[in-house]
Amino acid sequence: MSKLIIKKYQYKNSKNKTADQKWFGKVATLETIDLDGICDHMVKHGTIYTSDIVVGVVKKFVGCIQEQLLESKKVKLNGLGTFYLSCQSMGVEDPEDFDPRKHISGLRVRFAGDRSKNSAYKKSALMDAAHLTSLSSLGLAIADDETSNSGGGNTGGSDPVVDDQP
């Protein structure tokens, strides 16, 4: 049985009086699986295709997603979610002065998980399927009892929120 490992951290931000100094949980990441790794995993699930075929199809798929995003399209993978682009933009006083080539400073790929009625990725379905366990109960050598000024950042954490549904 797989286990979703949760580690605890202390939120430290005196500007947020309701959360400051309280302990919260966040998902511990043990490793990152790359494209080849996920393709090898897919092959183990009984596909008739060899790993090289699966890798080729998935690589083409990844390239096609980028192509569609750069054509101002969202890419919805039914049952998984939707990829879309967002941009960082510098503001101007007069709309006539706005030039995307000068005032857009960055693009980011965003992902919104599928929350439709039958999705395996909506919050209730994930909670039902997850087998949660604490990091400390496994005795793993990943730092637990961390402190955080923001509750997240690039470590895969999240701000201390009871319900993060929009």
pLDDT tens digits for 115-134? 888 888 888 888 999 989 88
Confidence of residue 148 (pLDDT cuts 50, 70, 90): low
The rounded mean pLDDT for the chain is 82
Distances (CA, A) of 119 to 111, 114, 115, 158: 15, 6, 6, 22
Confidence of residue 162 (pLDDT cuts 50, 70, 90): very low
Euclidean distance between CA atoms 100 and 111, whole angstroms: 23
Q: For residue range 42-96, list pLDDT tens digits in order.
A: 999 988 999 899 999 999 999 999 999 999 999 999 889 999 999 999 999 999 9
- Which residues have a Cβ under 8 Å from the Cβ of 156 and sit 6 or more positions away? 26, 27, 29
Say whether pTM exceeds 0.75: no
